[in-house]
Amino acid sequence: MARFTDSIRIIVRAGKGGAGAVSFFREKYLPKGGPDGGDGGKGGDVYIEARNSYHNLSHFFRDRVYKAENGRQGMGANRNGRTGADLVLRVPPGTEIIDEETSEVLFDLTEEGEPVAVALGGMGGKGNAFFKSSTNQTPRYAQPGMPGEERALCLNLKLIADVGLVGLPNAGKSTLLSRLTNAKPKIADYPFTTLIPNLGVIQRADGSSIRIADIPGIIEGAHRGLGLGLSFLRHIERVRAILFLVDINDDDPAYALRLLRSELETYNPALTLRPSAVLLSKADLGGEGVEVRVGSLLPGERLMPISSLTGLNLDRVVELIEELMG
Instruction: Report helix, strand or coil for 315.
Output: helix
How many residues sit close enough to Mg ion to count as binding (CB under 5 A)? 4
Burial of 29 (0-12, 13-18, 19+ CB in 10 A): exposed
Q: What percent of the chain is helix, strand and coil (3-state, nearest 5)?
A: 20, 25, 55
Stretch that binds ligand GTP, among 83-91, 120-128, 235-243, 279-287 (CB under 6 A): 279-287
Query: What whole-number distance in Å separates Cα of residue 300 and Cα of residue 294?
Result: 12
The minimum distance between CB 235 and ligand GTP, in angstroms, equals 14
* CA angle (166, 94, 184) in 5-degree steps: 50
Stretch that binds Mg ion, among 34-42, 83-91, 186-194, 308-316 (CB under 5 A): 186-194
Which C-beta is closer to Mg ion: that of 174 or that of 276? Answer: 174
> Between residue 142 and residue 201, which ones bind ligand GTP under the rule CB under 6 A?
167, 169-175, 187-189, 191-194
Nearest in space to 284 (alpha carbons), one of 163, 179, 168: 179
Residue 284 sits in the site that holds ligand GTP (CB under 6 A): yes
The minimum distance between CB 116 and ligand GTP, in angstroms, equals 35
Residue 194 sits in the site that holds Mg ion (CB under 5 A): yes
Burial of 65 (0-12, 13-18, 19+ CB in 10 A): exposed
> Between residue 297 and residue 316, which ones bind ligand GTP under the rule CB under 6 A?
307-309
Query: What whole-number distance in Å separates Cα of residue 287 and Cα of residue 231?
Result: 36
User: Which residues make beta-bridge pairs with 165?
Assistant: 214, 243
Which C-beta is closer to ligand GTP: that of 1 or that of 205? Answer: 1
User: Which residues make beta-bridge pairs with 158?
Assistant: none
Stretch that binds Mg ion, among 17-25, 191-199, 220-228, 303-311 (CB under 5 A): 191-199
Quick one: DSSP state of residue 93? T
Which of 217, 227, 286, 305 is close enough to bind ligand GTP by CB under 6 A? Answer: 217
Which C-beta is closer to Mg ion: that of 116 or that of 309? Answer: 309
How many residues belong to the chain? 326
Which residues lie near ligand GTP (CB under 6 A)? Answer: 167, 169-175, 187-189, 191-194, 216-217, 281-282, 284-285, 307-309
Which residues lie near Mg ion (CB under 5 A)? Answer: 173-174, 193-194
